[in-house]
Structures are given as C-alpha cells and as structure tokens.
Amino acid sequence: MNRHKRAEQVNEAIKIIGSHGRRFFYNKEHDRFARMEVDERGKVWFVDDYSGKRIYTHPTGFSSRWRGFTHGGTLHNLVEEFREYIAHGLQVWPGFLGPERGFDESNIWGYPEEDMKKVRETAGALPVFRQQ
C-alpha cells in the first residue's frame, strides 16, 4: 500500500475523532477537519483545522515545536504516530485513542464514555490501528 492510500485512511480516522465528543481535529468556525497530506517527495504534513497551517511533521533537529499546531501534547503524539503509519506502514497502538486515566474510568481527552467507545470501535477498526 502506498503513502497516499495510508494518508486517506488516517484522514478517515481524523474525521471519526472530529465527529464525536469534544470534536478534536474539527473546527466549527471554519467548518473543516484537520488532515494529513503527502507531498511529491513522500514527506508527511499535517494541516491544522483551526490555524489552516500546513505543518511539517518529520523531525528537523532544530525544534520539536510545530508552529501552527493548535492541539495539545496527546494529539501531537497521535499525529506523530499517524506520520509513522503513513511513511512506513507502522500501525498505531489503539491505546492512543483517548488514553484512559489510571485512577478512574475516564479518558484523557475528556470525551463522554459513549462517544469514546464509538471512536475506539470505528476508528480502531481501520487498518491504521493494530488489531488486538
């Protein structure tokens, strides 16, 4: 499978995440979802839903900061995992979908339980994620 096909699969997962709960990766004001793109050199980019900026996702050695990325660290890590899937075909561990807290039944994303279950079931079934 090529990088463009894997990017399409990741974008499907992003739309699932952005259609539930707190709607991460979706911006209501601009009515758009974030997305992943692959350029002509095979490099992977993230287009932020809020800022609209195209962000280079590969390590550069200069800084780990992604200018224009409007989400927190947990989603930054998920986007990095998405990049690895797109670039190398390395499937993402399903635990990246709304990581659970160790001290109770909630998830770090703050998604309602029912919405988190839907995201884990529908996005988790995509080839992007390792099947348990």
List pLDDT tens digits, range 61-103: 776 678 899 999 999 999 999 999 999 999 999 999 998 887 7
| C-alpha–C-alpha distance, residues 38 and 85, integer Å | 12
| C-alpha–C-alpha distance, residues 123 and 97, integer Å | 8
Q: Is residue 51 part of a domain?
A: yes
Structure tokens at 77: 């890590």
Q: Is residue 132 part of a domain?
A: no
Residue range(s) defining the domain that contains residue 74: 3-124
The single-letter code of the amino acid at 7 is A
Q: Does pLDDT of 106 surpass 70?
A: yes
- Please tell me the pTM assigned to this model: 0.93
Q: What percentage of the chain has pLDDT greater than the value 90?
A: 84
Q: Is residue 130 part of a domain?
A: no
- Beta-strand pair 54-56/44-47: antiparallel
Q: Is residue 56 part of a domain?
A: yes
Q: Is residue 27 part of a domain?
A: yes
Structure tokens at 80: 């990095």
Q: How many domains does the chain have?
A: 1
- Sign of CA pseudo-dihedral 15, 16, 19, 24: negative
Q: Which of 26-40, 50-64, 73-87 has the lowest mean pLDDT?
A: 50-64
Q: Is residue 129 part of a domain?
A: no
> 115: helix, coil or strand?
helix
